[in-house]
Amino acid sequence: MPFLDLLPGSVVLGPMTKGSNLPYRRLCVELGARVTVGEMTVARRLKQKHRSEFALIRRAPEEPCFGVQLAGNNPDEMAWAAALVASRGADFVDVNLGCPIDYFTSKGLGAALARQPKRVQRIVEEMVRALGGVPVTVKIRLGWNSDHLNYLDVAKAAVDGGAAAVFVHGRTRDARYRFAADWDAVGEVVRAVPVPVIGNGDLLFPHDVEAARQRSGCAAVMVARGGLIKPWLFREMTEGYRELTADDRLAIYQRYVALALEHWGDHDRARAQVADFTRWHFGFWCRYAPRRPDGSWPGMQEREDLVFAVTPLERLLARQDQAAHAWLTDRLLANEAVDPEAAPPPSDEEVDGRNSVQVAG
């Protein structure tokens, strides 16, 4: 189904370096995701024929609607790369105007490019011309920092260039992920441009999504950390909130490992890669916390008491140390039963802080 037809009301799995790898996107599709975006891909590296970059634009056959996010600041390179990824199955192509990482911004990419609205417009124009109908979108932050908020200028420039939709992460580059997203600012973009706006920031439960939609008027939302912590969030949007048991969650993590082995292979080098990705994912899975006993909800930007972790497996899955994540990964890769009593003991530091879990990233 075309991107713009599928978009209204969707919860989009956002582009995340390492996080939105192909097996994880497949897992999220199995759990209800309809629109997915791959990891950020550098246009110049595609032109230089880097194999690792080409791996990022591969689409899983079962993805209903798949987008590729490109990073670059040269209009000709971006147009060439856009045509390439569209020829390989992308349903839409997104321009990265939000990456806050110093390595990329020092090269004029991501959030640094968003400081040049006129260049953004030219890049989008060239990409639209090269694609001939495949939608071009942009993903922006609110600005470089709180003293330089130019999100309305950038959004308008992108739309003037032909962008079919605008993704808005409600934080500045300087804020990274430290502060709550500004959904009122997302709403300003909604009212300022004549194309669909997709809001992004701090969405972890279905009621978060509905509140964000109501507050901003956005056509859809995008999740990043929320989708890493709770890949079943997509299913909750149609079936309602679900408080999964530790065994239920472990089965989902096991399914990811199976999909990863299917994708990368079941030989020593591939298994090492799967182990690396799985340990990384456990760094987010361990942040899960359900609705509190009093009926209130955890937030993305706070530490959460572990009062819900009453079983040994729940306590194990909530551990945030690398030793626990490595041990769990080894068990899943070996397809062995997970016995919490056999896990390595927590460190003294963990014991001191074991009554809370860091939900925020």
Query: Which are the catalytic amino acids?
Result: 99
Q: Which long-range contacts (C-beta less than 8 Å, at least 24 apart) are formed by 322-325?
A: 322/279, 323/347, 324/282, 324/286, 325/279, 325/282, 325/283, 325/286
Gap between the Cα atoms of 130 and 296, Å rounded: 49
Three-state secondary-structure class, residue 227:
helix
Please tell me whether residue 258 adopts helix, strand or coil conformation: helix
Place of tokens 């006993």: 293
Nearest to 202 by CA among 185, 219, 177, 220: 177
287 Cβ neighbours under 8 A, 6+ residues apart: 229, 320, 357, 358, 359, 360, 361
Contact criterion met (CB below 8 Å) for 190 and 161 = no
Contact 333, 282 (CB under 8 A): no
For residue 241, the 8-state DSSP code is -
The amino acid occupying position 209 is: V
DSSP state string for 103-133 = HHHTTT-GGGGGG-HHHHHHHHHHHHHHHTT
